[in-house]
Amino acid sequence: MLQGARRESDHFIVYRHDSVLGKTQFCFKTPKRLGNAVRRNRIKRLMREFIRTHKPLWPDSSAVVLLPKHGTFELDFRQVSAELKQLFGHE
């Protein structure tokens, strides 16, 4: 069951929960309803790249689940980055 603070945009849903592990963890969920494996893998690559390039922005001790919605595969990295920054409150 997904718990914690939920934020939603046009293309993503983000769940954020405090973690007891002392480090930030990310989970990328891409259900089959989003398309074939090629599309799902592309979405995951874009989300991972956003997390990697914005590492200093993440607080310690949180668990974050990223769920893309339909139409996300049409976005480029710049659009994904802008939308996720807005969701995480970094703009």
Task: Report the CATH number at residue 22.
Answer: 3.30.230.10
Q: Note the pTM of the prediction, 2 decimals.
A: 0.83
Q: What is the pLDDT of residues 36-57, one digit of tens each?
A: 999 999 999 999 999 999 877 7
**Top-confidence residue, 28 or 88:** 28
Q: What total of structural domains would you count in the chain? A: 1
Q: What percent of the chain lies above the pLDDT cut of 90?
A: 53
Token pair belonging to 45: 């690559």
User: What is the rounded CA–CA span in Å between residue 91 and residue 89?
Assistant: 6
pLDDT at 88: 82
The answer for residues whose C-beta is within 8 angstroms of residue 42's C-beta and 6 or more apart is 73
**b/e per residue 49-85 (b: at least 16 CB within 10 A):** ebbeeeeeebeeebbbbbbbeeebbebeeeebbebbe
Range of the domain at 14: 5-88
Mean pLDDT score across all residues of the chain: 87
